[in-house]
Amino acid sequence: MAIKKILLGSVSTLILLLNFTVISSAAKSKEATPNQQFVQVKGQDLIQPDGSKLYIVGTNLGNWLNPEGYMFGFQRMNSPRLINELFCELVGPDKAAEFWQQFKDNYITRNDIDFIASTGANTIRLPFHYKLFTDEDYMGKTSNQDGFARIDSVVDWCKANNLYLILDMHDAPGGQTGDNIDDSFGYPWLMESEKSQQQFMDIWKRIAEYYKNEPTILGYELINEPVATYFENRDELNSQLNDLYTRTVPVIREVDPNHIILIGAPQWNSNFEPLRDFDFSRDPQIMFTCHRYGGDASAEAIGNFISFRDWSNRPMYMGEIGHNTDQWQSDFVKAMKENNIGYTFWPYKKIDNSCMMGIVMPEEWEEIVSFAEAPHHTYAEIRELKPNRERAAVALNKFIKQCKTKNCVPQESYIKSIGLQLP
Q: Is the pLDDT of residue 189 over 80?
A: yes
pLDDT in tens, 380-391: 999 998 889 999
Contacts 24+ apart (CB under 8 A), 375-380: 376/89
pTM as predicted: 0.91
Region 364-388: what's the mean pLDDT?
A: 92
What is the percentage of the chain residues whose pLDDT exceeds 70? 92
What local confidence, expressed as pLDDT, does residue 376 receive?
83
Distances from the Cα of 87 to the Cα of 98, 139, 160, 251, 392, angstroms: 11, 11, 35, 38, 9
Position 286: which residue type?
A: I
Strands 357-358 and 409-410: antiparallel
Region 221-234: what's the mean pLDDT?
A: 97
Region 386-404: what's the mean pLDDT?
A: 95
297 neighbors 382 (Cβ within 8 angstroms): no
Region 328-336: what's the mean pLDDT?
A: 97
Q: Is the pLDDT of residue 363 over 70?
A: yes
How far does Cα 413 stand from its chain's mean position?
A: 25
What local confidence, expressed as pLDDT, does residue 423 receive?
85
What local confidence, expressed as pLDDT, does residue 377 receive?
86
What local confidence, expressed as pLDDT, does residue 23 receive?
31
CA distance 358 to 408: 5
Non-local CB neighbours of 266 within 8 Å, separated by 6+ positions? 226, 227, 234, 237, 238, 241, 274
State the pLDDT confidence band at 36, using cuts at 50, 70 and 90.
confident
CA distance 18 to 2: 24
Q: Is the pLDDT of residue 266 over 60?
A: yes
Among the listed residues 180, 176, 159, the one whose alpha carbon sits nearest the alpha carbon of residue 117: 159
Region 251-271: what's the mean pLDDT?
A: 98
Q: Is the pLDDT of residue 312 over 90?
A: yes
What local confidence, expressed as pLDDT, does residue 17 receive?
36
What local confidence, expressed as pLDDT, does residue 6 receive?
36
CA distance 195 to 203: 12
Region 322-334: what's the mean pLDDT?
A: 97
311 neighbors 317 (Cβ within 8 angstroms): no
Least confident of 30-34, 266-270, 305-309: 30-34
How many other β-carbons are positioned within 10 Å of the β-carbon of residue 142? 11
Q: Is the pLDDT of residue 1 over 60?
A: no
pLDDT in tens, 123-165: 999 999 999 999 999 999 999 999 999 999 999 999 999 999 9
Region 368-375: what's the mean pLDDT?
A: 94
What local confidence, expressed as pLDDT, does residue 95 receive?
97
Q: Is the pLDDT of residue 119 over 80?
A: yes
Least confident of 246-250, 374-378, 393-397: 374-378
341 φ, ψ (degrees, to nearest 5) = -115, 105
State the pLDDT confidence band at 25, using cuts at 50, 70 and 90.
very low
52 φ, ψ (degrees, to nearest 5) = -85, 155
